Structure 1
């Protein structure tokens, strides 16, 4: 018997409902002050008997809203969930110079957010893409508050590819260079934003990018270019780890992610028919996968 589920995140986007508009009615928006900067948070309480607490960290050009589609499905499975926009990302404030975005500082922000929100211990930490790099730094700073780590479509060392070209474009032309790269690669009009011709979904992603602090973008891409493999250090913490990605993930090479899972002795799950944002492509499958892993490692 086929279960009728609400639409996945990408299916909602196809209906013109962008990520911010997917915010559940039971969820709550807020801010926390960390190191003098207001960071945007989203939270939802577990339904029924609580099974645990999760903290979700978004990727490079993203924001807390990327996880909106997951909030309700995870809460229905007994998890209270918090997400936050990292410093300088859309919805959050941040410094205007790159030295305020060191990987060590970003990892400390994770701990500071947890303390400000009084999330306690036994928190399941998930980092999507660049958020996985930051989550690794947070765990290596102090693994004691965490029940588990999920590397969600994220890898252990620099992904290479066109990062250097992207950094050049960013430094020469500013944040709009990322928008132009995507538009031109897709064969779309690169001047649609100037003409006011973006559809509602395109406008959302454009606004999210352009509201990101340029210093955060520069520092973030430098971290990705210089990313070093800390898998052995992570393994030494003894923390349970899940490595998971979409079968069509086009960021870190899939073989690199699989190798990391093997070295960690981690659970390794591939989500079929999903790309780099597996939580949007297969929202309910992702929620079930995560809850299953978290259930096995909850106090």
Structure 2
């Protein structure tokens, strides 16, 4: 299990310049709305393969993968609903969007904390899916430790969440190997329990913004989550606008084939099995 990574705490200086306090009596407003921008950064562990690279080669690899290691997102929210999406970023080398990476990236996400519903639009190799499911349950442990993020006093909360539940929209060959092994033994449930991996999550939320929302899969705290660290990734709110003059629209995605998270995972695994089989067949031919 990887420990929570704190490499990107320097991002706080950016937040201090751009976060602003709640204006007027916004907390009690019936139509309370807001929009938060998050900066996400991930560290890159090149492992044994990286040990064989020179420092210059490592820099080149990191530069090529920068779009997948550094991203920005927007969270639009009201009291009960939120809409989270990645902001498109052009590839520094080709000038095009990272279309391959989007096959395994999180799509536009709608959450409703009142109805416990999540709807997420996913596109996988040209096919569009509408993933409808319940919100990921999170057993937060609330702490007393505080810190300032911009003008907001934030409290610390921690949780241990099954890694697979946080990355249900993505794929790794490890997932495929585990799936194949469990299926071959005919002990899917037992194997899943034995190989369950947990991700340690640290979040900082502010009761000054009284909504239970947060970026990505995170939610359920007594205040907006302004920073969250999980595994090798940290997401930090760098800009926050509350009750803007122009009303914000929050609408759930509607296009795609209805499917659950579990069904979507199975679809990805089967497609990648097919991909691997076709590639192996060509190499033998």
**Structure 1 and Structure 2 fold alike (TM over 0.5):** no
Return the index of the structure with the highest Cα Rg. 2
TM-score after normalising by structure 2:
0.29
TM-score after normalising by structure 1:
0.28
Determine which structure has the larger strand proportion and give its number.
Answer: 2
